[in-house]
Copies of this chain bind each other. A is one copy, B any other.
Amino acid sequence: MEVKVIWSEGMAFESHQNNHKIMLDAEARFGGQDKGPPPKTLVLSSLAGCTAMDVISILNKMKISPESFKVKVEADLSKEHPKVFTRIHLTYFFQGNDLPLDKLEKAVNLSQEKYCGVSAMLSKVCPLSYEIITESA
């Protein structure tokens, strides 16, 4: 795997990965112009995306299709440098009629315990907890 970030101006960098391009920037209070997400929030996006893709893939195999699905990540940062996550909490929201909670739990647990590489890496850094919320459509 290979990724490049190329300085644009100020604190803004263009990140190139395969054929995709993303702008990264710092917030104004950290000297940037907020032209793109800052790096640490992007780590949280990666975490949420990694486990969310696992869950959808596992639910596909179980022939379960929620009407909507999202994952929220909340995290705290240490006060001192280097600023690292001190706590991460994931909430999996499923919406749909007659969704089997036991299978949703199984899919989420499989991702967290077996498949999600980003979760496995970040759980070496700080406690990582999660919950599941279901709603009828």
Q: What is the interface of chain A, defined by CB distance below 8 A to chain B?
A: 1-7, 11, 13, 15, 17-20, 22, 24, 26-27, 31-32, 34, 36-50, 52-53, 56-57, 66, 68-78, 81-85, 114-122, 124-125
Measured CA separation A13–B42 after assembly (Å): 14
Measured CA separation A114–B17 after assembly (Å): 27
Which residues of B sit under 8 angstroms from A118, Cβ to Cβ?
A: 39-40, 43
Interface of A, helix, strand, loop or mixed by DSSP: mixed
Which residues of B sit under 8 angstroms from A117, Cβ to Cβ?
A: 40, 77-78, 81-84
Measured CA separation A37–B18 after assembly (Å): 8
Number of copies: 2
**Residue in contact with A42 in the complex, picked from B17, B40, B57, CB distance below 8 Å:** B17
Which residues of B sit under 8 angstroms from A6, Cβ to Cβ?
A: 68-70
A24 and B45: CB pair below 8 A?
A: yes
A3 and B41: CB pair below 8 A?
A: yes
CB distance from A63 to the nearest CB of B (A): 15
A4 and B39: CB pair below 8 A?
A: no
A20 and B37: CB pair below 8 A?
A: yes
CB distance from A109 to the nearest CB of B (A): 13
**Residue in contact with A5 in the complex, picked from B2, B19, B49, B125, CB distance below 8 Å:** B49
